[in-house]
Amino acid sequence: MGNLRTKDLSKIGYHNDQLRSLVIGIASKNFKHHSKQQLLDLLVNINNNPEAYLEDELTCRIAEKIIGKPEEQAFKIYDLRTEPVFCKTYGGKGIEASAKKQMELANLLPVSVQGALMPDAHSGFGLPIGGVLATDNAVIPYAVGMDIGCRMALSIIDESDAFIKRFDYQIKQALKAYTHFGMEGGLDVRQEHEILDSPVFNEVSFLKPLRGKAVRQLGTSGNGNHFVEFGEIELLPGNQLGLPAKKYVALLSHSGSRGLGSAIARHYTQIAMNTCKLPRHAQQLAWLDMNSEAGQEYWLTMTLAGDYAKACHDRIHANLLKALGLEALHIVENHHNFAWKETLANGKQVIVHRKGATPAHKGELGIIPGSMTTPAYLVSGKGANHALHSASHGAGRAMSRQKAKDSMTVSAMKKLLSSAGVTLIGGTVEENPLSYKDIETVIAAQQELVDIQGKFFPRIVRMNKE
């Protein structure tokens, strides 16, 4: 099937945004073996005589939309289950009660199939951060989160760890010149990437005004715990990368889909809450049916946001490596705050939401960071079914940002950084190392989920300064 565009549909009389979005979603999924012309001919016939296509399960939804079949109800009301679905918790002793309670509520949704709670878990909106939830043909915007596709990217560089001491000044200058943090602004030089040419920006009408901001923010990072840092990584013997076991220079970044992802999250969360009515305390977990127009459209835009987050990391790494005359031997990436179509061990197809959790299918590489003074772990998944093939996405917060602010002074944080041999550019006491759980305890709690391939130690860290 050739790429079907909204302008193709407009030419044959499909002028409604929602109808065009529905057609593109159904066509990409069910008419892959049709040529573009065959598909357009079929759509003309449906538009001319929709009643004739009401009986066919592939075309009935398009026909119903054209006819304007009245909805029985603008929204549906759902009750929760009486018993939660199966959910395995890892490292439960270190997880606050409120996060466990949030996960239990998610496991009571009528669309829930299985849950898992990672050892870095703490309270969030909707699903707890560190929560993994498999659902039946439903996607929950708040179980994906606001920063859609938030991502870790690690470039392993063909230099010894002595490089950082020798070129300390140049690394700091490069980080200042080629990274940008915060809600507004961008890099001085306009960034180019094929993601900006994605047809989805035009196919989904509410995205059109967001493209300009996406152009400006490409290659930048947000607030909070997002970072770009140089350090040294020690790869273990027999590592999955096939690289010699020794110390290398590495560049590690953590950030997401910026304003684009949060706008998508807000837009579809509102639609979900308006159409899927749950008891008040569970309303944040409202979902979109994957067969609905809104469900198809959210999936399309969520995927775009994930690709955009990757594009930001692509630019960050390319800019910094070029500025310092370095080359990557290997790049490892993984993202969280996303939903995937997966198949459980029993053969059931589900939507797996990982909010602040790392995919860890068998042999899949991932990065689990600690804090700015503690190691990040390069890991390989073991594909544990009870964990829904997941692992933690970091150490997890031990205290809120406000509590971290109240319990640490700038001078005390500087001493901590100095004793760990870490230089910080920017950063706030809200992200001080003591505001995070102990990474060693968190890693120990997931031995059945991942194998360790290497250990990264931060040396020069760049973060946002409030």
DSSP H or E run through 235: strand 227-235
- What domains are defined for the chain? 6-67 (no CATH), 151-463 (3.90.1860.10)
For residue range 242-253, list pLDDT tens digits in order: 999 999 999 999
Using 50, 70 and 90 to split pLDDT, how confident is the model at 19? Answer: confident
Least confident of 41-55, 117-131, 347-361, 368-382: 41-55
- 384 within 8 A of 449, measured Cβ to Cβ: yes
For residue range 82-136, list pLDDT tens digits in order: 999 999 999 999 999 999 999 999 999 999 999 999 999 999 888 999 999 999 9
User: Cα(389)–Cα(455) distance, rounded to whole angstroms?
Assistant: 22
CB atoms within 10 A of CB 45: 13
pLDDT at 72: 41
pLDDT at 366 over 50: yes
pLDDT at 466 over 70: no
Please state the φ and ψ torsions of residue 454, each to the nearest 5 degrees.
-175, 170
- 382 within 8 A of 365, measured Cβ to Cβ: no
Helices 60-67 and 17-30 pack at an angle, to 10 degrees, of 170
User: Cα(264)–Cα(141) distance, rounded to whole angstroms?
Assistant: 9
pLDDT at 71: 44
- Residues above pLDDT 90, as percent of the chain: 77
Bridge partners (DSSP) listed for residue 128: none
For residue range 162-186, list pLDDT tens digits in order: 999 999 999 999 999 999 998 777 8
Bridge-based pairing of strands 328-335 and 151-157 is antiparallel
- Prediction pTM value: 0.84
Burial of 456 (0-12, 13-18, 19+ CB in 10 A): buried
